[in-house]
Amino acid sequence: MKILLQRRNPNVANSVVYDNAKGDSGFTLLELLVVLGIIALLATVAAPQVLGYLGKARTGTSKAQISAISTALELYALDMGTYPSQQVGLNALIQAPPRAGAWKGPYLKKAEGLVDPWGHPYQYKFPGPGGGPQVFTLGRDNNPGGTGEDQDVSN
């Protein structure tokens, strides 16, 4: 590729003009394929790392949401004198249960807070282990046990 310098007028700096007479500008097909191959290789190496971080982020989000739900349950218990029954469940944090004269909620702003990062509703037991309320998710696979994103998360 030839680069020609020419002065158009004295008030304008040198301008670059490309001589395309031979048609040899641009990238060849081989150069494009090499670049695409390098990008594909980098994506193959980076994708598992990114997906691993996303899984850890979802598990961390579920822990934070369970903590917020537990706090909301404590506020509910302060107002009502007891935790919601298992039949009423966590919806008592959003809507007043029947015959709830002392209810001062909602204790959570949105019902979306009752769904884990994998789209499953959080589960609730009262009384749970130790006598208090238990809020938990079964993870991505929605089955007991597991590791990584499939692990159970509880308060």
| Per-residue pLDDT tens over the stretch 60-109 | 999 999 999 999 999 999 999 899 998 999 999 998 888 878 889 899 98
Statement: residue 35 has pLDDT above 70: yes
pTM of the predicted protein model? 0.67
The answer, yes or no, to whether the previous bond of 127 is cis (omega within 30 of 0) is yes
The residue assigned the tokens 């490309």 is 18
Token look-up 């909602």 returns: 106
Q: Where are the beta strands (DSSP E) in the chain?
A: 2-6, 15-19, 123-125, 134-137, 153-154
**Out of 16-30, 33-47, 102-116, least confident range:** 16-30
- Give me the pLDDT at residue 6, please: 52
- Please name each of the domains of the chain with its CATH number: 2-154 (3.30.700.10)
In this structure, how many other beta carbons lie within 10 angstroms of the beta carbon of residue 134?
17
* Confidence at residue 53, expressed as pLDDT on a 0 to 100 scale: 80
What are all long-range contacts of 1-8, with beta carbons under 8 Å and residues at least 24 apart?
A: 1/25
Query: Has residue 49 got a pLDDT over 70?
Result: yes
- Tell me the pLDDT of the chain averaged across its residues: 83
